[in-house]
Amino acid sequence: MESSTTKMPGSAASVRNACKLCSPLGASLVFKGIHGCIPMIHGSQGCATYIRRYIISHFKEPVDIASTNFSEETTIFGGHKNFNLGLDNIIRQYRPEVIGISSACLSETIGEDVNRLIKEYRQMNWGSELLPELVYASTPGYQGTHIDGFHETVSATISTLAVKDAKVGEHINIFSGFVSPQDIRHLKEIISSFGLDYVLFPDYSDSLDNPNWEKYHLIPPGGTLVSDIKRTGAARGSIEFGYILNEGAMNTRVNKAKQVLTAGEWLEVNRNIPYHRIGMPIGIKETDKFFELLEWFSNKPTSQKLKDERGRLIDSYVDGHKYTFGKRAIIYGEEDLVIGMVLLLLEIGIEPVLIASGGTGGRLKQMIDELTEGKTKDVKIMNNMDFESMNEMADELKPDIIIGHSKGYYIARRLNIPLVRIGFPVHDRFGAQRLQHLGYQGTMQLFDRIVNALIEYKQENSPIGYKYI
């Protein structure tokens, strides 16, 4: 399913069990974060099936993703008939406010001009009350990873819908990236506590983690309102989480001349909206940066409740450092999540021995070395990594713990060491949509889980069945 190569010493010149997923998966997640939106992948049916299977398994929610269902004929003569039929069917069955269209390998390889197809469809249906907003993101599977597809779709949605020449409002934009529904709920609580008006996009905190329904909803409730996405174009500032964002897509783009700005960058360039880029607020230092920005935007101090959360986190570091200090960790996953986790590990005295991502941004080492002020300069930091290479390196590195998503479980099992599951996908545990990573609260949960995994390992492997520590 994934392309691109990695060249590790002694390893094959191909990806074996890639540490990444494909681009339209990220696009589908973003479209699930728009109110009244149905995602449609312009490609073969297998793309939509694989992506639905991954999302459903992680979030445990029903997920409809339409497909234009490419066949041999479509591949040779173009997909315009299937494209129009797909849109007609979705409108008839779902009456959506938005259809989020992403491309896949096949439609991109034959050079399908999706923007032209959209233009023609709009012309054919001009004046129809049922015609929804049509948003398109170019996301071939061989371009970057699911995270690149995610950020490029956020950007495509904003550049399609954000208002122009509107009076600047009091609100701010938050582009929080690919975080869990629980993280999004917590972010909304934090921002509201400063009394700020805001637009957070994409917001799948309900649509991918909904309460029990009395009746079935064709389109799950929740998501950022289209009216709110439009007003991102009149905000007084944007905050975007992530140091790497969609740089992997830029490196692997077939059309090298085409640069896609992130949503925050696009609004700065095209709507003159001041832009603040920070890392994912994981750990005390990175979370402090987020709170400083919120204080600045709101002109209000952080609430006592949140200050107390920070104080409790520091207290827990003091209480728990004896379990974490000097432990060796392998950490892998999406580049910006990995950066946040490395900064947290250094705060709690854990030594990363391998920092890896399937991401193709190429700046992971440089970024981490800068943020850690050289503390990681001798650590193996790998872009474009796969699990087989990681597995081969693991014995020599002698890790005490692995931190990443569930696809690395087999390495932890072989080494008989704990795996702390974070990020996406988590296919082998319950409650992944409620895992918290962000803010002082999310950091506390990560810290507790890491400490408990180490304690549990020691207890399980002790010849004495001790009951307290």
Indicate the residue among 70 and 194 with the shorter CB distance to ligand SF4: 70
Q: Segment near ligand SF4 (CB under 6 A), from 43-51, 156-164, 258-266, 395-403? A: 43-51
| 208 closest CA partner among 405, 421, 434, 32 | 32
By CB under 6 A, how many residues form the interface with ligand SF4?
10
Indicate the residue among 86 and 223 with the shorter CB distance to ligand SF4: 86
Residue with tokens 């709110």: 228
Q: How far is the CB of 392 from ligand SF4 (least distance, A)?
A: 25
Q: How far is the CB of 79 from ligand SF4 (least distance, A)?
A: 14
Indicate the residue among 71 and 303 with the shorter CB distance to ligand SF4: 71
Indicate the residue among 18 and 354 with the shorter CB distance to ligand SF4: 18
Out of 15, 18, 19, 24, name the contact with ligand SF4 by CB under 6 A: 24
Query: Which residues does 210 contact at the CB level (< 8 Å), separation at least 6?
Result: 61, 220, 221, 222
**Whether the Cβ atoms of residue 186 and residue 253 lie closer than 8 Å to each other:** no
Indicate the residue among 5 and 192 with the shorter CB distance to ligand SF4: 5
Out of 43, 149, 358, 442, name the contact with ligand SF4 by CB under 6 A: 43
Q: Among residue numbers 49 through 108, which ones bind ligand SF4 (CB under 6 A)?
A: 50, 104-105
Q: Among residue numbers 117 through 176, which ones bind ligand SF4 (CB under 6 A)?
A: 141
What radius of gyration, in Å, describes the C-alpha atoms of the chain? Answer: 22
Query: Which residues does 31 contact at the CB level (< 8 Å), separation at least 6?
Result: 37, 38, 39, 98, 100, 102, 135, 153, 202
Q: How far is the CB of 52 from ligand SF4 (least distance, A)?
A: 11
Q: How far is the CB of 146 from ligand SF4 (least distance, A)?
A: 9
Which whole-number Å values give the CA distances from 401 to 116, 345, 454, in the listed order?
50, 11, 8
User: Residue type for 262, please?
Assistant: T
Q: How far is the CB of 95 from ligand SF4 (least distance, A)?
A: 28
Q: Segment near ligand SF4 (CB under 6 A), from 42-50, 149-157, 431-439, 458-466? A: 42-50
Q: How far is the CB of 142 from ligand SF4 (least distance, A)?
A: 7
Out of 18, 22, 137, 261, name the contact with ligand SF4 by CB under 6 A: 22
User: d(Cα 360, Cα 143) in Å, to the nearest integer?
Assistant: 9
Residue with tokens 């300069």: 377
Q: What are the residue ranges of helices labelled H in 327-419?
A: 335-347, 364-371, 387-397, 409-415
Residue ranges with strand state E in 197-338:
198-200, 238-241, 275-278, 328-332
Indicate the residue among 24 and 418 with the shorter CB distance to ligand SF4: 24
User: d(Cα 352, Cα 143) in Å, to the nearest integer?
Assistant: 29
Sign of the four-CA dihedral 205, 209, 215, 219: positive
Say how many Å lie between the first and final Cα of the chain, rounded. 46
Q: How far is the CB of 24 from ligand SF4 (least distance, A)?
A: 5
Indicate the residue among 4 and 173 with the shorter CB distance to ligand SF4: 4
254 binds ligand SF4 (CB under 6 A): no
Indicate the residue among 141 and 222 with the shorter CB distance to ligand SF4: 141
Which whole-number Å values give the CA distances from 150 to 6, 36, 74, 374, 405, in the listed order?
22, 18, 26, 30, 18
Out of 19, 47, 250, 348, name the contact with ligand SF4 by CB under 6 A: 47
Residue with tokens 């109110």: 35
**Whether the Cβ atoms of residue 240 and residue 175 lie closer than 8 Å to each other:** yes
Q: How far is the CB of 23 from ligand SF4 (least distance, A)?
A: 7
Cis amide prior to 181 (ω within 30 degrees): no
Indicate the residue among 52 and 437 with the shorter CB distance to ligand SF4: 52
Indicate the residue among 51 and 306 with the shorter CB distance to ligand SF4: 51
Binding region for ligand SF4 (CB under 6 A): 1-2, 22, 24, 43, 47, 50, 104-105, 141
